[in-house]
Amino acid sequence: MLQDDAKREANKRTVLAFYEAGLRQKDYATASKLLGDRYVQHNPLIADGHAGFEAFLAFLKEKFPNLRADVKHVFAEGDFVIAHVHGVREPGQRGSAIVDIFKLEDGKIVEHWDVMQPIPEESANPNGMF
């Protein structure tokens, strides 16, 4: 049980480091060290593999240099890490609520899914999205 807990915590640290290097710093060289030899992408706008991720970061760096991805919650179970993220492309925008799902093997990210929902101007409740 302790070994499973340690693995889950290590996987969460890997994903958080990936957000920092990749999405906050847009540093492919550092972020790519956290990817496995194979990297399967389920977002239809991003190509598979290291080259696909590198192209995605180059796009973000050019089009949205001020992009922020603030992880609000992170959960791990087995080889999966789920992050609940507030993504903002430009300062002053409301941004999107994002759920990213990562699969890890041997401590490296090998697969990614995401679901995004724009944060509306008005809400039917006072709860917020995070």
Element housing 81 (H / E): strand 80-88
* Residue 51: per-residue pLDDT: 98
Q: Are 92 and 20 in contact (CB under 8 A)?
A: no
Q: What is the predicted pLDDT for the residue at 3?
A: 79
Domains plus CATH for the chain? 2-118 (3.10.450.50)
Q: Count the Cβ atoms, other than its own, within 10 Å of residue 32.
A: 17
Instruction: Write the single-letter amino acid at 69.
Output: A
Q: Which residues of the chain have pLDDT under 50?
A: none
pLDDT for the residue numbered 99: 98
Cα 117 from Cα 20, distance rounded (Å)? 21
